[in-house]
Amino acid sequence: MNTPALKEWPLWEVFVRSKQGLEHKHCGSLHAADAAQALHMARDVYTRRQEGVSIWVVPSAAITASNPDEKGELFDPAADKIYRHPTFYAIPDEVGHM
């Protein structure tokens, strides 16, 4: 007891893996007091329409984001290097899903 009231709950990023999906995809964010509650909230807010079979929650503060101002130097140099796409050769059947 005598816990100070948490006026602002921290923000969490929510990732959901769909039934057929191989990876968790970012689907939004929410406020929750702690990780366990964030999972509950994510279940109620983001999987109401059978969107998923697995949920991850990550504190938004733990994410380091790239700077939008550096978009040009970070991403534009890749624009003319189409040879990096694996579309110039046939993938053998044995490889399966890539």
Partner 1 sequence: MNAPLEYLLHLADNAVVLGQRNAEWCGHGPILEEDIALSNVSLDHIGQARLLYQLAAARMGEGATEDRLAYFRDAAEFRNYTLLELPHHGPLVGYAVAERDYATTIVRNFLYAALMVLVWEALEQGSDPDLAAIAAKAVKETRYHLHHAADWVVRFGDGTDESHARAQAALDHLLPYTEEFWTPSPAETAAAACGAAPLLADLRSAWDAQVDATLAAATLRRPQEPAYVPEGKLGRHSEHLSYLLGEMQSLARAHPGAVW
Measured from the CB of residue 3, what is the shortest distance to partner 1 in angstroms? 5
27, 93, 90, 92: which is closest to 55 by C-alpha?
Answer: 27
d(CA 56, CA 35): 10
d(CA 47, CA 13): 14
Tell me whether residue 38 is exposed, middle or buried, using C-beta atoms within 10 angstroms of its C-beta: 0 to 12, 13 to 18, 19 or more.
buried
CB of 18 to partner 1, least distance (A): 19
| Of 9 and 56, CB closest to partner 1 | 9
- Shortest Å, Cβ 32 to partner 1: 7
Distances (CA, A) of 23 to 52, 53, 90: 11, 11, 25
- Of 8 and 80, which CB lies nearer to partner 1 in the complex structure? 8
Identity of the residue, 1 or 98, whose beta carbon is nearer to partner 1 in the bound complex = 1
Binding residues (CB under 8 A) for partner 1: these are: 1-5, 9, 30-33, 36-37, 40-41, 44-45, 48
For partner 1, the closer of residues 2 and 20 by Cβ is: 2
